[in-house]
Amino acid sequence: SQTIHQWPATLVQPVGSPLSLECTVEGTSNPNLYWYRQAAGRGLQLLFYSVGIGQISSEVPQNLSASRPQDRQFILSSKKLLLSDSGFYLCAWSAVAGGNQPQHFGDGTRLSIL
Amino acid sequence: GENVEQHPSTLSVQEGDSAVIKCTYSDSASNYFPWYKQELGKGPQLIIDIRSNVGEKKDQRIAVTLNKTAKHFSLHITETQPEDSAVYFCAASFGNQFYFGTGTSLTVIP
């Protein structure tokens, strides 16, 4: 069966520090991968998605970036964090299979910027 | 682009009663509609989905209906239990793109 892992589960970082969140998927090949941010009590904001290694689409311009160095690895990064980067970050995957496939989410990373 | 609206934002029901959450979408190209349940501190989990060639789908106490003409779909939970308390999200999808509603916080009162 397929599983998705995100780490760390929680992270407290000072303003201006760098960020690296990692997501890996097991049990499937060539998945679509997604990064979302969820503000407290609000919906899901798509940040990045990837349909293959090295292929990244950005939905919202900001100081975050994403990379996909391996087929089942998706990394969310920042060189300098802002207070507004606080939130709950979720990684998700879906099978390519011609569309109409559900997204499956990890358990997220709670990021607090001080 | 697609716009998904979800109502209500909060919903309280007595245990054993039914709960209904409604979503509308704007893009007639959307053809896949999943529903997710998110418990506190966890990621959303898929609970049921429906494709545009189907009008209704049921899985035990959960059902989803889709009206393509009116561009709306609904989640129905019958015989609610305290463990149904969570935030529920609808989504509309076409291809690789997913558009989520803003969520409904459901509280089931014992």
Closest CB from A43, A94, A99 relative to B101: A43
d(CA A21, CA A35): 10
pLDDT value of residue A99: 66
Sheet holding B72-77, edge to edge: B4-7, B19-25, B72-77, B62-67, B56-59
Proportion of chain B above pLDDT 70, given as a percent: 100
Size of interface A-B (CB pairs under 8 A): 51
* A43 with B103: Cβ contact below 8 A: yes
Q: Note the pLDDT of residue A66.
A: 96
| Residue A114 burial by Cβ neighbours in a 10 Å radius (0-12, 13-18, 19+) | exposed
Q: How many CB atoms lie within 10 A of CB B69?
A: 7
Least CB-CB distance to B43: which of A46, A90, A101? A90
Q: Which residue has the tokens 């919903």?
A: B11
pLDDT for res A41: 67
Residue pair A47/A39 in contact (Cβ under 8 Å)? The answer is no
pLDDT at A42: 73
Which chain A residues contact residue B95 at CB under 8 A?
Answer: 99
The per-residue pLDDT for range B52-99, each reduced to its tens digit, is 888 999 999 999 999 999 999 999 999 999 999 999 999 999 877 889
Cβ–Cβ under 8 Å, residues A76 and A50: no
B100:A44 CB<8 A: yes
Mean pLDDT by 10 residues, chain A (114 residues): 93 96 95 91 86 89 90 96 94 81 94 95
